[in-house]
Amino acid sequence: MTTYYDITLTSDIPHGSDILNRPCTIVFTYPNGSHSDPSYSGTIFAWQTANTVRIASAVLNIEAGWVGANGGSLTIDTGGGLAFGISAFAKVP
């Protein structure tokens, strides 16, 4: 089953970046400094605003990781790799 999430990043994605239909990995950093393991994977399929993307993932309950996290990072694998902090993370109903 596919789940959808809107992710607001702490900075804008550079204009001209090729991120759509690309795999991404979400790693949450917890207050004690540990990281989610394994990381969560999905595919970016919509770039809604300069700093908001929508992903589709077969992993359920990624938001549970966000609830316990003190921050996080979204790594978008575009061949060169772009990494962004996450300021908001929400499951799309």
- Residue 67's pLDDT is what? 85
CB within 8 Å of 38: residues ≥ 6 apart:
none
Exposure b/e, 7-20, CB count within 10 A at least 16 = b: bbbeeebeeeeebe
Quickly count: other Cβ atoms within 10 Å of residue 1's Cβ: 6
For residue 47, give both structure tokens.
């770039």
Instruction: Classify domain 3-91 at the CATH topology level.
Output: Elongation Factor Tu (Ef-tu); domain 3 (2.40.30)
pLDDT digits (tens, 9 = 90+) for 33-53: 888 887 899 999 998 889 999
Which residues are within 8 A (CB) of 70 and not within 5 positions of it... i.e. 6 or more apart?
29, 30, 31
What is the pTM for the complete model shown?
A: 0.86
Extents of the domains making up the chain: 3-91
Q: What is the pLDDT of residue 52?
A: 94
